[in-house]
Amino acid sequence: MARILAVDDSRLIRDMVNTILSAEGHEVITADDGTEGLERARDEVFDLVLSDINMPNMNGISMISKMRRLPGYEFTPIVMVTTEDADYRKNKARNFGATGWLVKPFTPERLINAVSKLTN
């Protein structure tokens, strides 16, 4: 199973992602903003990163832009998990290194399917 970094300023979302994906056998590590997420990525290796966009201290797009420059993260799947669904936001995120997009609110099945596609 995969080691997943879930970055979101909402404790509810972090807990929900952790509960859903841990039940599927994944190891989930959480961070509450982009700064902490980037620090965790510097210290550990993850198979997949899930990140919100709008967060304090460092937003998700800045985090993934910096994360892509870290050794071992050039090709790691990074999925934006956010309420944002505008095409210009998606394109901006892709340009900075996002692999995919999952709009909140999401069902457990949609999260599991997205993770399965990117970790198998």
pLDDT digits (tens, 9 = 90+) for 47-64: 999 999 999 999 999 999
pLDDT interval class at 27 (50, 70, 90): very high
What pLDDT score does 120 carry?
Answer: 77
What pLDDT score does 3 carry?
Answer: 98
- Cα distances from 41 to residues 63, 86, 95, in angstroms, run 10, 27, 20
What pLDDT score does 2 carry?
Answer: 97
Rounded Cα distance, 96 and 91, in Å: 9
Calculate mean pLDDT across residues 116-120: 91
Rounded Cα distance, 37 and 50, in Å: 10
Domains of the chain: which residue ranges?
A: 3-119
| Among the four given CATH numbers 3.40.50.2300, 3.10.560.10, 3.20.20.10, 3.90.650.10, the one describing domain 3-119 | 3.40.50.2300
Higher pLDDT, 6 or 86: 6
Rounded Cα distance, 69 and 117, in Å: 24
What pLDDT score does 73 carry?
Answer: 96
Rounded Cα distance, 112 and 26, in Å: 10
The token pair at 22 is: 């841990």
